[in-house]
Amino acid sequence: MSTPPPVFRIGHALDVHAFSPEMDGTKKLMVACLEWPGETPLVGHSDGDVAAHAICDALLGAAGLGDMGTVFGTDRPEWSGASGEAFLREVMRMLEVAKWRVGNIHVQVIGNRPRMKARLPEAEERLSALVDAPVSVSATTTDGLGFTGRGEGLAAQATALIVRAD
């Protein structure tokens, strides 16, 4: 007798990107699928959206579908410069094919800037619309400790609950 598949699964992920050493005006800071005008962009193969990337990794991990590096890695030139939104849309397509849907997600952005408090509701609304489920967003600093505390970059961690769609 085989064990039935689980009705829900949980994934957790961390994403980290450094701030670009220069602002040339061609790249914008994107966090939680929102543009942050006047802020230094993040370095990455894509837009560097740490919140979106952590969410994608948590969802992929929960579903057993790999991770950002294997699905969207630097060996995949078609994803070069891609937006966090594009990654989320593709992960949602993959979940649908695998017969999973999102229950809920929490993502926390870690860094000194941008100052996110005033835009947290906007970030939650944007991300919730993209994954068709509730997303809570929080932000914190590390009280000056580590690379985020020194203002060298941003990190984000996400936890996602997925449920069987059948």
What CATH number is associated with residue 117? 3.30.1330.50
pLDDT of residue 74: 85
Domain count, the chain: 1
Q: Which helix (H) or strand (E) holds 89?
A: helix 84-97
Q: Which residues pair with 162 in a beta bridge?
A: 9, 102
Evaluate whether residue 22 is within a structural domain.
yes
At 57, phi and psi to the nearest 5? -65, -40
Percentage of the chain exceeding pLDDT 70: 98
Residue ranges of the annotated binding site for a divalent metal cation are: 15, 17, 53
Evaluate whether residue 1 is within a structural domain.
no
Evaluate whether residue 3 is within a structural domain.
no
Residue ranges of the annotated binding site are: 15-17, 45-46, 53, 140-143, 147, 150
pLDDT of residue 81: 87
What region, left, alpha or beta, does residue 94 occupy, with left being phi > 0 and alpha being psi -120 to 50 degrees?
Answer: alpha
Question: 3-state DSSP call for residue 6?
Answer: coil
Evaluate whether residue 2 is within a structural domain.
no
pLDDT of residue 110: 98
Evaluate whether residue 154 is within a structural domain.
yes
Residue 107's domain spans which residues? Answer: 8-164
Evaluate whether residue 29 is within a structural domain.
yes
Q: Which residue has the tokens 């230094």?
A: 40
Asked whether 62 and 160 are in contact (CB, 8 A), the reply is: yes
pTM recorded for the entire structure: 0.95
pLDDT tens for residues 62-99? 999 999 999 998 888 898 889 999 999 999 999 999 99
